Structure 1
Amino acid sequence: MRYAVHLALSLALLCGCAVSPAPQFFGATRQEVALEGYRFTVFVKTGRAEVVRRGYLPRAARDRVPALMVRAAEIASGCTVIGPAGGIWRAPSLPGDTGEARFELAC
């Protein structure tokens, strides 16, 4: 019994490690982008992009990340970021979050 519980918890944790898009970005094009040692997964769909930073960063190393997220969205989409996504596309996270961001694109 104890083994089964540990196995189930381990599998649940492993399943949560993969990066998946928000529901608004289901069916989006996915790209992996690396910039200055940071890794991002970018989902692009209908003139918008969702950028997810991969890996752990201490607070002191996060200052450059928002600008790199913009660059990652532009590289993956081939478009220009014109600002944060709004409406149903808006990110639920706090402004300045370095883990996930959503952008409006001009293509």
Structure 2
Amino acid sequence: MKQLFALPIVILLAACGAQPAPQFFGAERHEVTLQGIDFVVFQKGDQAEVIRLGYLSRAARDAVPPLMIEAAERTTRCRVAGPAAGPFRSPSLPGDTGEARFQLAC
């Protein structure tokens, strides 16, 4: 009986993963690993959302913000022009190492 209950939970967890914010629905998805950290980048036009995957200790998070910029630039082949603005602006606090949104110059 326990196995029957666990099956839907396993299926739900398998479906989990990096999902774009609503503003990035329909965006092109890229995956990249930099310095052992996995990132998913969603590109929609000249906007990018970068999501860091996995757990990092507090000390290991210091290297993440520049890696997020590098992830966006490598996968989109555009230069990061700065943080996204307007409806693409990130709701995260400044310095968040889990998610960032950028304006791209392509």
Question: TM-score scaled by structure 2?
Answer: 0.89
Q: How many residues in Structure 1 have an aligned counterpart in Structure 2?
A: 106
CA offset digits 1:40-92 (Å, max 9, x no partner): 01011110100001111011100010000000000111111011101110111
Establish whether residue 29 from structure 1 lines up as the match of residue 28 from structure 2.
yes
Instruction: Tell me the CA shift for residue 25 of structure 1.
Output: 0.8
CA distance in structure 1 between the partners assigned to 2:96 and 2:31 by the alignment: 19
Structure 2 counterparts to residues 5-44 of structure 1, below 5 A: 5-16=5-16, 18-44=17-43
Gap runs ≥5 in structure 1? none
Q: Alignment identity in percent? A: 58
- Decide whether aligned partners of structure 1 residues 72 and 4 sit closer, same or farther in structure 2, where only a CA change above 3 A counts: same
> What is the RMSD computed on CA atoms of the aligned residues?
1.5
Report the residue type matching 2:15 in the other structure.
Answer: C
SS at match of 1:19: coil
Unaligned runs of 5+ in 2: none
